[in-house]
Structure 1
């Protein structure tokens, strides 16, 4: 695809804190979308109650994706508290322990009404990895200006692979289209990652999903797969692998890849035979050296940046030792981070498409 890749920049870093916000311990999995005349970012956040929820950040109205002036949405009258779009579900619910990997989509429902939705991965296990209860996919829907959680999952796993997660949903050409991940178990400190990426579609985004098509097999081990419109017609897909949370070796290669396709579907033959490596984590900055997750983005909207692809993603720090990190912070008279087995950063990379012939 012939891009010039600028050095990625950090937007929100768990090691640096969140500017006085105290009710979230970590933020990741950003989905960026334009709603009316403003760019919004839907983010998964790990709270001080040890549950995950969905938060937002935004650019000032009218600013373009070249801006880095993102601000986390806080509760009215309390700038130290990030504002979740809904409350966590009640005890005993299938997603009681949190809402992960939010992805916003707007489209037409079964009644012909325009709806806004945030699809997410629901967690029913105390464990984020090596989970004891399956992950399923649910949604939060906005009606009358109020976000409301749909009570039941919209997609569940199978007996062969009980977990479904990482939903990437777009309403395109009259269909709700979902690219998602399936696995036997979310991999932790042990075990081999076993992920496949599948595709389904539905008329209403709730029911009657099509028979899943496998886009990437376990042998390829890709994880997130997000589709955006190309500035040259057709579509592009950004993919990554599951991040190397614990710095294990050996582990599947970490990076960010792009593919091209003429249609927004799950047919492997529609997409580039060989994904193009855009960011190689082995050669990258420390804050994404242990992996990239959740890439998604858009081309610029104006004439001067229409050939620039802005991709947002989660970066996983290579540094993991809390004592070492805390000491370096204290030396610089900075507060140490909350103790965590790993640390996330939300970042952005700009890719400038070269117009010269290949």
Structure 2
């Protein structure tokens, strides 16, 4: 018999008939009953269909479900800021009760922007999608902000595609958050100020109008901040 221990704050919403998400064709589900059958977890539950019928349903975890992962930024040099500072992006994987770090970074910078940090990762349409910051170095006293947001994709969450520029330095974005709302993904972006008060202080660009970023049931190879402004981030072209 398996034993489950509830951890405060560890609960995660699967379905919500009011705020979503909900499986297609269902208005509501409830009264789940979970069993471990032939090495897989199976959930039996009651549901109210969009054709106004009460039925029994079965949900299963996919075979070879991806492990829990935590993406983080680590310092690659002794310096914390300034021209010789470098950061890379790594990943921890949950193995049993422990988080195990991969030996090598999964994202590093290039000759123009050798420092990468602030990863944001979501899984949608069968692929991992990461937005992260790429800089010449971590800014310090005497430096002006020089942030670029990049975007990359991965099939397994470890090996990533060549990144594309999501937002250039002239746009002033240094951080972002991606959330799911119903049938779409939304992004909130933060613009960085002149952290150390280095003259001349750059004038921030006009604020862009927020738009849906990545529909849940459609895939595109890359999404840019320009797409958000002109409204073309609604699916593949």
Alignment of 1:221 onto 2:178? no
- Aligned pairs for 1:152-171 (under 5 A) are 152-171=104-123
Tell me the number of residue pairs that the alignment of Structure 1 and Structure 2 aligns: 169
1:119 corresponds to: 71
Q: In the aligned structure 1, how far is the partner of 2:171 from the partner of 2:150?
A: 13
Structure 1 residue matching 2:109: 3-state secondary structure: coil
- In our comparison, the structure showing a higher alpha carbon Rg is 2
Q: Offset at 1:252? A: 5.3
Q: In the aligned structure 1, how far is the partner of 2:71 from the partner of 2:188?
A: 18
Q: In the aligned structure 2, how far is the partner of 1:146 from the partner of 1:271?
A: 39
Gaps of 5+ in 1: 1-33, 39-107, 275-358
1:211 corresponds to: 162
Q: In the aligned structure 2, how far is the partner of 1:255 from the partner of 1:121?
A: 29
Q: Offset at 1:225? A: 2.1
TM-score, with normalisation over the residues of structure 1?
0.42
Tell me which of 134, 146, 157 is aligned to 2:98: 146
Task: Between the two structures, name the one with larger relative contact order (CA 8 Å, sep ≥ 6).
Answer: 1
Structure 2 residue matching 1:219: 3-state secondary structure: helix
Q: Offset at 1:189? A: 0.9
Q: In the aligned structure 2, how far is the partner of 1:252 from the partner of 1:135?
A: 27
- Aligned pairs for 1:264-279 (under 5 A) are 265-273=222-230
Q: In the aligned structure 2, how far is the partner of 1:227 from the partner of 1:273?
A: 19
Structure 2 residue matching 1:128: 3-state secondary structure: coil
Alignment of 1:241 onto 2:216? no
Structure 1 residues 151, 256: closer, same or farther in 2, change over 3 A?
A: farther
Tell me which of 77, 84, 89 is aligned to 1:132: 84
Q: In the aligned structure 1, how far is the partner of 2:223 from the partner of 2:158?
A: 19
Q: In the aligned structure 1, how far is the partner of 2:66 from the partner of 2:144?
A: 42
RMSD (Å) for aligned C-alpha atoms: 3.1
Kept in 2, the 8 Å contact 1:195–1:217? The answer is yes
Structure 1 residues 247, 256: closer, same or farther in 2, change over 3 A?
A: farther
Kept in 2, the 8 Å contact 1:130–1:187? The answer is yes
Q: In the aligned structure 2, how far is the partner of 1:262 from the partner of 1:245?
A: 29
2:135 corresponds to: 183
Structure 1 residues 272, 229: closer, same or farther in 2, change over 3 A?
A: farther
Q: In the aligned structure 1, how far is the partner of 2:185 from the partner of 2:209?
A: 10
**Structure 1 residue runs of 4 or more that deviate by more than 4 Å after TM superposition:** 251-258
Kept in 2, the 8 Å contact 1:197–1:214? The answer is yes
Q: In the aligned structure 2, how far is the partner of 1:186 from the partner of 1:255?
A: 25
Q: Offset at 1:245? A: 3.3
**Structure 1 residues 156-207: Cα deviation after superposition (integer angstroms, max 9, x where no partner):** 1111211111110111121111001111111111122111111000001111
Kept in 2, the 8 Å contact 1:240–1:255? The answer is no
Q: Offset at 1:261? A: 2.2
TM-score, with normalisation over the residues of structure 2?
0.61
- Aligned pairs for 1:289-308 (under 5 A) are none
